[in-house]
Structure 1
């Protein structure tokens, strides 16, 4: 596993722990704004994880595709992802 995927995995594991904590907060009847702030923190972790995965994809998969004259397909994949991220 390369460095980008390791970082992504750590962000996801942290997010998982935070989500479990959020569920406990809801079960305990905690203040809604506190719960919302924790959800925002998890969303930030998910964005960081996605960024690391995309970085890995660009540095390895896309680079390799261009070296083998198959880059256009990978560019289309990235554009599709960017379209989803911008919505």
Structure 2
């Protein structure tokens, strides 16, 4: 596992713990704003993990594809993914 994937894995483990904590907060009837702030923190970790995975993909998979003259397919994959990221409203 390379460095980006290790960091992404750690961010995902941390976000898993946060999500479990958020679920407990809801069960315990904690203040909504506190819950929402924790959800925002978990989302930030998920975004961080996604960026690390995408960085790894660009540095390895896409680079290798271009070296073997098949980079256009990888560009299409990235464009599709960016479309999903940019069109999300929530």
TM-score (norm 2): 0.95
The aligned length equals 87
Partner Cα separation in structure 2 for residue 34 and residue 46 of structure 1? 19
Q: Could you tell me which residue of structure 1 aligns to residue 81 of structure 2?
A: 81
- Structure 2 residue ranges without an equivalent (≥5): none
Task: Report SS of the residue matched to 1:7.
Answer: helix
Partner Cα separation in structure 1 for residue 82 and residue 58 of structure 2? 13
Partner Cα separation in structure 1 for residue 29 and residue 42 of structure 2? 19
Query: What pairs with 1:1-80 in structure 2 (closer than 5 Å)?
Result: 1-80=1-80
4+ runs deviating over 3 angstroms:
none
TM-score (norm 1): 0.99
RMSD of aligned residue pairs (Cα, Å): 0.4
